[in-house]
């Protein structure tokens, strides 16, 4: 239902990602509260890829979303290598994603990491 989106792995790409998600989900009839929750979860996965996968270098992150009936799947993929968190009191992103989505699967590998987010959505009818 949506083509693969590739964005630069920089914080400035997050607003474009959010905008693209809203433009995809809202016309599909997904309830506004769910659009917000999905956008937060996907943005968190994207931000984690920026922070943990890449050092200061040009890189991209791929976001692939499908909406089949009431089943939503979004995958976020990087091609980087894991870096330890910077700062203290970190590490809440995965818990946030799990609280907002029904399934979160993280698949790390030598050629990058893929985060798969799944959720059933409720469609609203427009007047």
Q: What is the mean pLDDT of residues 16-27?
A: 95
**pLDDT band of 29, cuts 50, 70, 90:** very high
What are the contacts of 93-100 at 24+ separation with CB within 8 A?
93/44, 93/45, 93/47, 93/48, 94/48, 96/40, 96/41, 96/44, 97/41, 97/44, 97/45, 100/37, 100/38, 100/40, 100/41
Note if the pTM is more than 0.85.
Answer: yes
Fold of 5-120: Heat Shock Protein 90 (3.30.565)
Query: What are the pLDDT digits (tens) for 59-95?
Result: 999 999 999 999 999 999 999 876 655 666 566 788 9
């Amino acid at each position: 239902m949506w083509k693969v989106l590739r964005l630069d792995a920089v914080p400035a790409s997050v607003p474009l990602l959010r905008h693209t998600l809203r433009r995809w989900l809202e016309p599909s009839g997904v309830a506004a509260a769910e659009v917000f929750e999905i956008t937060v979860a996907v943005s968190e996965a994207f931000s984690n890829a920026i922070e943990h996968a890449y050092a200061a270098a040009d890189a991209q992150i791929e976001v692939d979303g499908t909406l089949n009936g009431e089943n939503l799947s979004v995958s976020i993929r990087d091609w980087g290598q894991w870096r330890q968190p910077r700062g203290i009191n970190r590490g809440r992103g995965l818990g946030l994603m799990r609280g907002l989505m029904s399934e979160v699967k993280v698949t790390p590998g030598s050629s990058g990491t893929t985060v798969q987010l799944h959720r059933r959505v409720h469609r609203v009818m427009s007047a």
